[in-house]
Structure 1
Amino acid sequence: MNGKLLIVDDHKQVLKALIQLLEPEFVSVTGISNPNQIISYINKEEFDVILLDMNFSAGVNTGNEGIYWLNRILKSDPLAVVVMITAYSDVNLAVKVIKEGAIDFVVKPWDNNKLITTLQAAFKLRQSKVENKNLRNRQKQLNKGIIKQYGLLIGKSQAMENVLRVMKKVARTDADVLVIGENGTGKELIVKDIHNNSRRADEAFISIDMGTITETLFESEMFGHIKGAFTDASEDKTGWFETASGGTLFLDEIGNLSLSMQSKLLTAIQNRVIYKVGSKTPIPFDIRLICATNKNLEEMVSKNLFREDLYYRINTIVIEVPPLRERGEDIVLLAEHFLREYASKYEKFYLKFSSKTLNKLMKYNWPGNVRELRHTVEKAVILCDSDVLTPDDFIISHATQQTNHQEKPPTFAETEKQALLIALNNNNGSVLKASKELGLARQTMYNKMQKYNL
């Protein structure tokens, strides 16, 4: 083993014997006879396993001294792996120390092979604990990266305010959530925002595209398998449910699952346990489940393409993300956001939209939603030759312009707010110049900006 072992025993002959036995098994073995030195040692050096005697005072066999130092060790290093050793065998005492946080209990005189096996298992546990801590730290950094990459959700339209209000309420709960909406509307961003504002924010966020998992590998991917479970199972595999335990499991495109896969998923969700392929041992899990789809699950239920019981299991809260064409002034806000992002990325720092360009973007139907808008702005930034982005810089299909006169027209308030946004953009945020362009008194301009929270 490559680990470091600390042995604590006040009996110097026992300590010497343990060191001689275990030195070939560890990269380093340190022995101390005075328990008062324990904390200073573990503060100076990181030990993988600690072998701790239960009693240090002559004539005392209660084990209370060992439990005291066990608690001190775990307080100093919550990841510490401690094996207790004592000359007094007692079942109740063994149970007590395990409850206090020790991982095993060894009785003197010990069996050499059994002791080595016990310490080997302890070393593997320590490795797992450290690995899990590193994964959690990595997840924290990834979550910070998610926030930095995607930023805050952008939108002041009534449609998005409704979504944000529901998100805020549901984020701090563990309720299962179903996010529905067209492709490109930002469903994954909604899900990540819910996770980042939940009590599980520092735990794992596992995102699975269910459309990429074949039926034959579904159980192995989701629940894991043991070595030898099938021909290619050369080692144990941890499934996504177990990996996400403690955090959030996001099942994207859940509408793509076959009925057989839906049944297996429902069983796991209902029972809150999974079974690895090839194993009969139940593995409990603790996840916050969020699903998303661009399909109409209610219609699929009516056509017997989606299980009704699974549908009601996953849709405790439903969040419907509106398409961009229904978000009115958000088109301008998002376009401005993407312009700043890509102007910085491609070092074209003085770019701005012309008023005609913003009008063109507002009239377009955006079938690809926010994703299409992002890519359209990026392409325009790359190809433009001046500091002003004109309508000609945006190659969009006239076939998808919003020309359907049966669509609901924008309200007067929406039209007024859009006009204010365009005027402010045309004048680099100058209220005075924007008010002149709109033919408004400056105070009236301020009042309207306050009214629309601009």
Structure 2
Amino acid sequence: MASVLPVLAKATVLIVDDDPDVLLALAVLLQPLVSQVTTEKNPERMPTLLRQMRFDVVLLDMNYQRARNTGNEGFYWLAQLRQLAPSTAVVLMTAYGDIDLAVRALKEGARDFVVKPWRNEKLVAALTEALGRTSGTGATPTQSASGTAALIGESDAMQAVRYKLEKIAATDANVLILGENGTGKDVVARLLHHLSPRAAAPFVAVDLGAVTESLFESELFGHLKGAFTDARQDRPGRFEAAQGGTLFLDEIGNLPLPQQVKLLAVLQNRQVTRLGSNAPVPIDVRVVSATNAPLYQLAAEDRFRKDLVYRLNTIEITLPPLRERGDDVELLAHYFTAHYAEKYRKADLTLTPSALGRLRAHPFPGNVRELQHTLERAVIMAESVTLRAEDLLFSALESTVPVAAPLRLDELEKSAIQRVIDKYQGNISQAARELGITRMALYRRLGKHNI
């Protein structure tokens, strides 16, 4: 716990809970670590306390005397805190661990969410991270606009995702996350870590699409000084850096076969050997992987090892594209509009029916990320308190389909791809070259059109 002490040392903490035993236990835990701890049993006294003193963080129970199991009072007082002390970090507590409550808490401005009975290390880490985010020194794995928004939604598809998260977050099972670009795979990986017993340990992300073959072993497994020309000192790899925590392997579908073999050996043996060393290092990490590539098709074509797929996907989560999430588009649109209106100090902005209609009609090939960028631009350029359809400009980076004739152009794309595939008798490399796209982009389109 010593590593978190410098961050907490100057902090003033307010704990609000109707259980005297909880207040005493938290005060005993935190008093040696922080500058000052104030405890309060009655949440009605919070406004007075906030006027009398500035608190860096409030640890707030979600259930008091009324509606004890719903968390409604916690959300009410969270909203009050956001108004009365917007710079104060809020960490919510409840005895009723529920993924929907956690996501809603983060959406409505909480820095973190702790389930009772808590583990001391995890609670202290949550407070430390919350303070770091407030001061700008910490990471924000679930509190960014895109991170919070990724799981907003009431569609059946998102309910299924949340159900799986609730079931698997507390386990050590390896997870494979599938989905198109922009659907929030990295955010789900961070949330899995955040809600797991490993939350106080490191979350280490590796973009395998950006790791060259020559540096793969050094990057993931580490090296000793002198192992190769530029190895000027010993360096642990990402597996060792994630010890006790979660290792997120993004773009796993880009991994070449020789590197797949090396990764498989590490996952099977639960140990790594640094370059230049013969001494294996035991590892204790949970591996979460993600890809937008057609992994099963690659495995069927012997371009991705089936045994590695089995190692990676003890549990599989498929994130739905935004175009299949129905009314979630409107929920996300309202969220992003409010978020960026606050960020850019605009008046309370609203979306007109025409703007919402345009958003509902757009196919969003860039998914949640594209929607976020569209609304950020619209808020920045807004000249009134309403956003109209004409204020929404969609990204030219995506191969979007005009709203007027989405099906017809979709069919044209499918037909063009089919002709080129037939021309080269299924040779993906040659077909991609003629179409002017990458092989991975062609695979995505093949999956999209069921070719």
Could you say which TM-score interval applies, normalised by the shorter chain?
Answer: 0.5 to 0.7
The answer (yes or no) to whether the contact 2:289–2:312 under 8 Å persists in 1 is: yes
> Separation in 2 of the partners of 1:346 and 1:136?
28
1:47-196, aligned counterparts within 5 Å?
Answer: 141=132, 145-149=140-144, 150-151=147-148, 153-196=151-194
Deviation string for 1:269-295 (max 9, x for gaps)? 000011010100010000000000000
Deviation string for 1:308-355 (max 9, x for gaps)? 110111011110000000000000000000001110111112210111
> Separation in 2 of the partners of 1:312 and 1:147?
28
1:330-341, aligned counterparts within 5 Å?
Answer: 330-341=328-339
Compute the displacement of 1:145 (Å): 3.0
2:401 matched residue in structure 1:
399
Residue 208 (1) aligns with residue 206 (2):
yes
The answer (yes or no) to whether the contact 2:338–2:348 under 8 Å persists in 1 is: no
Of the candidates 318, 321, 324, which is equivalent to residue 320 of structure 1? Answer: 318
> Separation in 1 of the partners of 2:327 and 2:405?
18
Unaligned segments of structure 2, at least 5 residues: 1-31, 33-123, 409-451
> Separation in 2 of the partners of 1:292 and 1:248?
13
> Separation in 1 of the partners of 2:143 and 2:279?
41
Change (3 A) 1:144 1:280: closer
Change (3 A) 1:358 1:320: same
The answer (yes or no) to whether the contact 1:254–1:293 under 8 Å persists in 2 is: yes
The answer (yes or no) to whether the contact 2:169–2:192 under 8 Å persists in 1 is: yes
The answer (yes or no) to whether the contact 2:352–2:388 under 8 Å persists in 1 is: yes
The answer (yes or no) to whether the contact 1:186–1:370 under 8 Å persists in 2 is: yes
Deviation string for 1:389-428 (max 9, x for gaps)? 111101238834284569xxxxxxxxxxxxxxxxxxxxxx
Change (3 A) 1:284 1:359: same
Of the candidates 341, 344, 351, which is equivalent to residue 342 of structure 2? Answer: 344
Compute the displacement of 1:138 (Å): 6.9
The answer (yes or no) to whether the contact 2:125–2:200 under 8 Å persists in 1 is: no
> Separation in 1 of the partners of 2:403 and 2:318?
24
Of the candidates 366, 375, 384, which is equivalent to residue 386 of structure 1? Answer: 384
Q: Cα RMSD between the aligned structures?
A: 2.4
Compute the displacement of 1:297 (Å): 0.5
**Counterpart residue type for residue 246 of structure 1:** G
> Separation in 2 of the partners of 1:146 and 1:174?
19
The answer (yes or no) to whether the contact 2:253–2:293 under 8 Å persists in 1 is: yes
2:48 matched residue in structure 1:
none
**Counterpart residue type for residue 317 of structure 1:** I
1:69 matched residue in structure 2:
none
> Separation in 2 of the partners of 1:243 and 1:135?
17
Compute the displacement of 1:147 (Å): 3.0
**Counterpart residue type for residue 270 of structure 1:** Q
The DSSP-based 3-state class of the residue aligned with 1:325 is helix
The answer (yes or no) to whether the contact 1:139–1:202 under 8 Å persists in 2 is: no
Deviation string for 1:358-415 (max 9, x for gaps)? 0110011001000000000011111121111111101238834284569xxxxxxxxx
> Separation in 2 of the partners of 1:161 and 1:188?
18
1:281 matched residue in structure 2:
279
The DSSP-based 3-state class of the residue aligned with 1:365 is coil
The DSSP-based 3-state class of the residue aligned with 2:143 is helix
Unaligned segments of structure 1, at least 5 residues: 1-42, 44-133, 407-454
> Separation in 1 of the partners of 2:125 and 2:195?
19
Larger radius of gyration: 1
> Separation in 1 of the partners of 2:219 and 2:128?
22
Compute the displacement of 1:135 (Å): 10
Residue 360 (1) aligns with residue 358 (2):
yes
Q: How many residues align?
A: 275
The answer (yes or no) to whether the contact 1:384–1:393 under 8 Å persists in 2 is: yes
The answer (yes or no) to whether the contact 1:244–1:287 under 8 Å persists in 2 is: yes
The answer (yes or no) to whether the contact 2:155–2:326 under 8 Å persists in 1 is: yes
The DSSP-based 3-state class of the residue aligned with 1:283 is strand
The DSSP-based 3-state class of the residue aligned with 1:291 is strand
> Separation in 1 of the partners of 2:125 and 2:225?
24
Which stretch shifts more, 228-237 or 287-296? Answer: 228-237
1:418-429, aligned counterparts within 5 Å?
Answer: none
Of the candidates 290, 294, 299, which is equivalent to residue 301 of structure 1? Answer: 299
1:374 matched residue in structure 2:
372
**Counterpart residue type for residue 399 of structure 1:** V
Compute the displacement of 1:157 (Å): 0.6
Change (3 A) 1:328 1:284: same
Change (3 A) 1:212 1:405: closer
1:216-295, aligned counterparts within 5 Å?
Answer: 216-295=214-293
Compute the displacement of 1:137 (Å): 9.0
The DSSP-based 3-state class of the residue aligned with 2:140 is helix
Compute the displacement of 1:139 (Å): 6.5
The answer (yes or no) to whether the contact 1:139–1:205 under 8 Å persists in 2 is: no
The answer (yes or no) to whether the contact 1:176–1:288 under 8 Å persists in 2 is: yes
> Separation in 1 of the partners of 2:224 and 2:171?
34
What is the TM-score with the length of structure 2 in the denominator?
0.58
**Counterpart residue type for residue 193 of structure 2:** H
The DSSP-based 3-state class of the residue aligned with 1:251 is strand
The DSSP-based 3-state class of the residue aligned with 1:350 is coil
- Of all paired residues, the percent bearing the same amino acid is 46
**Counterpart residue type for residue 153 of structure 2:** G
> Separation in 2 of the partners of 1:235 and 1:387?
57
The answer (yes or no) to whether the contact 1:223–1:276 under 8 Å persists in 2 is: yes
The answer (yes or no) to whether the contact 2:246–2:288 under 8 Å persists in 1 is: yes
> Separation in 1 of the partners of 2:385 and 2:227?
63
What is the TM-score with the length of structure 1 in the denominator?
0.58
**Counterpart residue type for residue 276 of structure 1:** R
